[in-house]
Amino acid sequence: MTRRFDLTNDRSSVRGIFPPILTPMNEDESVDAASTKKLVQFVVANGVHGIWAMGTTGEFASCTERERARAVEAAVEGAAGKVPVIANVADCSTRLAIRHGQMAKAAGADALAATPPYYFNNSQNELLAHFRRLREAVDLPLFLYNIPQTVKTKTEVGTALKLAEEGVIIGLKDSQNDLDWFRQVTTGAKARGLDLRCFLGTRFLIDAGQLIGACGAIPSFANIVPAACAQAFEAAAKGDWAAAAVHQERVMAAEKVSGVVKGACSNAAVMGSMKTLLMKWGVIASDTLGSPLQRPNAAETAALVELAAKLELGKGY
């Protein structure tokens, strides 16, 4: 398959806002490809710079192997070559991650991302071997997805830099909210003359993250306020910090909708609130979550709609 973005040789498009795109589901919890495509079109039309498919917000852990591949394919179809698509292929072992990687490549992804394998507490040497083998097996650029709170293993600064020096990874997403770790990586990469594309997995630091070397952000709420996220990034990139703060505060205000959902875990509250609003706006067909995660109930849904109206959400900003 011919890809529009050759991220191995030209990383200029790896910047800005890459929404960790939600995965719309049918009532039987299968992937709703049509709604996925429509959601991607919605965020792209509102100015985002790329798509992060099958991440945590995309509920990859709730999907079968084939559903994961179909969701990536739908995201690629929705992006239509306008922005790059990075597909998370994380799993419990190297062999399984490679299978997801091969399927994501066939589905048209421009690059792959992977967490450390989860369940076992892997050593740093095992992480090095994991990412090397994955990159060797699937000929696509690779991003490290550092999220120790869900996979139990933290990638050390030295490990990330070694993978970058070897050319195994071209970038990373850090979702642990450890700015000391992040800055050590960005300054370490700069000292080594490496063009390592580092993203923060946060909706709070889209603007400020650029001061410590972030090339962009992968914020969950970019699913419902993509324009505000994109404008916060672009304003900061131009040095217009006052304008960036206005847009950043808009993103932070949008997060209030997740607080309405009281009957679910924090992940379900975030994903469920966004899916419900997107359903109400006609972007996706259902707010189904992968079980055992629970969607907002009737009272929560009513409160969500009311709060979204007060916040003037609904048009991407």
pLDDT value at position 31?
97
Percent of all residues in the chain with a pLDDT value above 70, rounded to a whole number: 99
Is it the case that residue 3 has pLDDT exceeding 90?
no
CATH topology of domain 16-254: TIM Barrel (3.20.20)
Is it the case that residue 2 has pLDDT exceeding 90?
no
Is it the case that residue 1 has pLDDT exceeding 90?
no
pLDDT tens digits for range 125-163: 999 999 999 999 999 999 999 999 999 999 999 999 999
Alpha helices in 212-282 (DSSP H): 226-237, 241-254, 266-280
∠ CA(184), CA(199), CA(290), 5° rounding? 125
Active site (catalytic) residues: 145, 173
Distance CA 124, CA 171 (A): 18
pLDDT value at position 26?
97
Please compute the mean of the pLDDT values over residues 85-107 and round it to a whole number.
Answer: 98
Percent of all residues in the chain with a pLDDT value above 90, rounded to a whole number: 93
Distant-in-sequence, close-in-space partners of 74: CB < 8 Å, separation ≥ 6 = 31, 33, 34, 36, 37, 40
pLDDT value at position 315?
79
Distance CA 16, CA 206 (A): 9
Please compute the mean of the pLDDT values over residues 108-134 and round it to a whole number.
Answer: 97
Query: How much is the mean pLDDT over the chain?
Result: 95
Is it the case that residue 68 has pLDDT exceeding 70?
yes
pLDDT tens digits for range 182-221: 999 999 999 999 999 999 999 899 999 999 999 999 999 9
| Residue 204 burial class via C-beta count within 10 angstroms: exposed 0-12, middle 13-18, buried 19 and up | middle
pLDDT value at position 263?
77
Phi, psi of 171 (to 5 degrees): -175, -175
Is it the case that residue 88 has pLDDT exceeding 80?
yes
pLDDT band at 177 (very low <50, low <70, confident <90, very high): confident
Find out whether 286 and 279 touch, Cβ atoms under 8 Å: yes
Distant-in-sequence, close-in-space partners of 177: CB < 8 Å, separation ≥ 6 = 202
